[in-house]
Amino acid sequence: MTSSSSTPLKGSVSIALGDYALVRSQSLALTDHLSDAEATVQSMEDASPAKWHLAHTTWFFETFVLEPNVSDYTLFDDKYCYLFNSYYDAVGERHPRPRRGMLARPTLDEVRDYRAHVDEAMETLLASTLSPELATLIELGLHHEQQHQELLLTDILHLFAQNPLRPAFAPAVPLEMTNKGTGDAGWVSFDGGRLPLGASGDGFRFDCEGPCHEVLVQPFELATRAVTNREWITFMEAGGYRDPQYWLSDGLAIATEREWHAPLYWYQQDDIWWSLTLRGPQPVHLDAPVAHVSFYEADAFATWAGMRLPSEAEWEHAAGDVEIEGNFASSNMLRPRPQDASAGDLAGLYGDVWEWTGSPFTSYPGFKPASGAVGEYNGKFMSGQMVLRGGSCATPGGHMRATYRNFFHPDKRWQFSGLRLARDAA
Ligand SMILES: [Fe+2]
């Protein structure tokens, strides 16, 4: 396979090898307005510095593509493997994750030089004839880089949220409204049955999305839009955060210990709820989907509402032929917007917020990790995490699929994570 023609990164169009330069430039562009200090600091163990994201995605191509396949490739710096290996045990020792923010050197500019060095070698390689295996690996590297583009955004939001000056990543602009507002959510019914789950056919997918297999799904209904901030405030004002009857035991313990009483980044000022966003402090838009809630909170809300979270099989079946379009990072809104459910079908299934499901992130029957170090990509995380579906306003356009499985621990809140309610059919 050789590099194909460049394809726009939007809608349902997947990335191709010809998009290498575009994906790489999109990562760099995210740091255009960051200082070296802003790109260096780490706000918590879960988050990484922007500089680290730029270097780690570069290390991926250097380590898995260039070093084993380009005989005259010269490492940019042989110490970078230790600094920028994330979690690949097969590759060797690495810098401890909680100390990524201590890397004042290399500087942001030196990391940019590292990227240029690797890009030059990659572009030479991409101009040659590639084996199918190598082409697949490069494609994985591009999708990996897109995942880090989203993490870079969510991590910089978390970093800026620690600063009493409340800095903005991007200028404040009015939130683009849908035409008719949200109104009450309706329901879309599905018959259920023995249904396929997982990716089949051609096209890129992460290993955890397959194999496609059959699952038994009972008839169910899915809400026409995600839960809104207005509905979340009703839950808060009803004492939802403190009433044990709605909570999983682990969730209540964590919510109590960490004093959760509202979504992450929310604060109250003059009786109005505000949120720290990538576009600075903004009044909470009541009709926009709630974001930055953990699985535990989402589950408690669903129980309070007399509903439940969908399973990932239900979500994927409902997604069916729904066009993969929505408020992704390419829209540059950088926050969820109100979803117009007036047409009665599923609005905002893609983009805006990742939707928590009630399904644990486990392997599908017949799952086999890839051979070699990249086999560590997903499989070793299949414990204690829950699946989210659909992508968010920070997910790069063109990165999403109906079968895409994101996963986080149930107490994590710094992603753009929200929920859509489900219920058993009457
Ligand atoms: Fe990574």
* Secondary structure (DSSP) of 348-391: S-SBSSEEEEEEE--PPTT--PPSSGGGGSSGGG-SS-EEEES-
- Decide which of 129 and 421 is more confident: 421
Cα within 13 Å of Cα(314), Cβ side: 26
The pLDDT assigned to 175 comes to 66
Res 10 pLDDT > 60: no
The neighbour count for residue 235, using CB atoms within 10 Å, is 20
Distance 53 CA to ligand 1 centre (A): 8
Distance 276 CA to ligand 1 centre (A): 26
The pLDDT assigned to 14 comes to 46
Q: Which tens digit of pLDDT belongs to each residue from 206-250?
A: 999 999 999 999 999 999 999 999 999 999 999 999 999 999 999
Question: For the chain, what are the domain ranges?
Answer: 17-161, 187-424
Report the range of poorest mean pLDDT among 116-120, 203-207, 372-376.
Answer: 372-376
Distance 148 CA to ligand 1 centre (A): 7
Burial of 415 (0-12, 13-18, 19+ CB in 10 A): buried
d(CA 414, CA 291): 9
Q: Which tens digit of pLDDT belongs to each residue from 157-192?
A: 999 999 999 999 999 887 665 545 567 899 999 999
Res 369 pLDDT > 90: no
Q: What is the mean pLDDT of residues 31-38?
A: 98
Res 292 pLDDT > 50: yes
The neighbour count for residue 279, using CB atoms within 10 Å, is 19
Distance 377 CA to ligand 1 centre (A): 8
The pLDDT assigned to 18 comes to 75
Hey, what amino acid is at 69? Answer: N
Res 13 pLDDT > 70: no
DSSP 345: S
Please state the length of the chain.
426
Res 395 pLDDT > 60: yes
Distance 201 CA to ligand 1 centre (A): 26
Distance 423 CA to ligand 1 centre (A): 36
Res 110 pLDDT > 90: yes
Distance 58 CA to ligand 1 centre (A): 10
**Are the CB atoms for 397 and 242 separated by under 8 Å?**
no
Distance 328 CA to ligand 1 centre (A): 20
Distance 59 CA to ligand 1 centre (A): 9
| Domain 187-424 in this protein, CATH class | alpha beta
Q: Which tens digit of pLDDT belongs to each residue from 43-53?
A: 999 999 999 99
Q: What is the mean pLDDT of the chain?
A: 92
Q: What is the mean pLDDT of residues 385-412?
A: 97
Report the range of poorest mean pLDDT among 179-183, 322-326, 350-354, 358-362.
Answer: 179-183
The pLDDT assigned to 112 comes to 98
